[in-house]
Chain A
């Protein structure tokens, strides 16, 4: 049976936890909405109620370096995900498995060395 009933699943606590979490946040928001006084004014609705009025667009182009860091993070996150099944399997397969993982890591490690040499890790 590919899809199992939640009653027999180990994921039941997660489901319950998620539902309780959503319910708690929803209930809190609803409750404060019910008891709060509601008297909006122009000054209250401005971005900074007692500050300088903002001008222009809040949108700003970010430094592309954030993107490079995020990309490096993804690459090594994927690598880490591969390490899990490997770590479980290597007991039985032994040195062969170690060799393969070394190759895998060395290829990405070379990529990191390249990124570092290229200055992708420095802040311009």
Chain B
């Protein structure tokens, strides 16, 4: 890999990881939410550097666009989002840092040592790639494709349950004794 590619990779990595640190360390939850934006853009940049054009666009459209908006709206629902006085960590922080560093070092060692089968093909143009993806989705990966739709459906129903107030045309909970008397009373 040449120097220019390495430079692009490293700068995109920094663009992804540094905001990610801010996301977890910000004392204000709104700031944390906004720090997600450069983080998502960095990931999009990585897709672009890999010439995975469709994923680049999807990452921008869905993560930087829709999901970030959803996260910010979710933050606005909270009653006390601005609480900059409370610390974001606890006394286990050094232990956690140690474990994470050891894990990162170990996994990097294992993953770098592995002889990956690196392809030497030139990446195909965007249209060809996306068509191949579409073919895969429709033919052999039809099950994951349709399950994705079920997944969205479950998320939709679940979110409505949690977000919607259950006031409204519901009768007050009747005492159980009234409902079961006569049927379950006798033993």
Residue numbers of A with Cβ under 8 A of B are 1-7, 9, 11, 14, 57, 59, 61-62, 64-75, 77-82, 84-90, 92-93, 96-97, 100, 103-104, 107-108, 110-111, 114-115, 118-120, 124
Contacts and interface: CB of A to CB of B under 8 A. Distances in A.
Nearest to A96: B138
Contacts of A7: 4
A92 B134 CA distance: 10
A77 B66 contact: yes
B48 to A, nearest CB: 5
A86 B168 CA distance: 41
Contact of B131 (A71, A88, A115): A88
Chain B contact patch, size range: 35 or more
A1 B5 contact: yes
Contacts of A120: 160, 164
B160 A118 contact: yes
Contact of B149 (A57, A80, A88, A107): A107
A3 B156 contact: no
What are the nearest 3 A-B pairs in CB distance? Answer: A89-B134, A85-B134, A5-B4
A65 B67 CA distance: 16
Taking each of A2, A68, A77, which has the highest tally of chain B beta carbons within 10 Å of its own beta carbon? A2
A74 B70 contact: yes
30 contacts: A2-B119, A2-B123, A3-B6, A4-B49, A5-B4, A5-B5, A6-B4, A59-B80, A64-B165, A67-B70, A68-B160, A69-B73, A70-B73, A73-B69, A73-B70, A74-B66, A74-B67, A75-B155, A77-B61, A77-B65, A78-B152, A85-B134, A85-B137, A88-B130, A93-B138, A104-B148, A108-B153, A110-B153, A111-B153, A118-B164
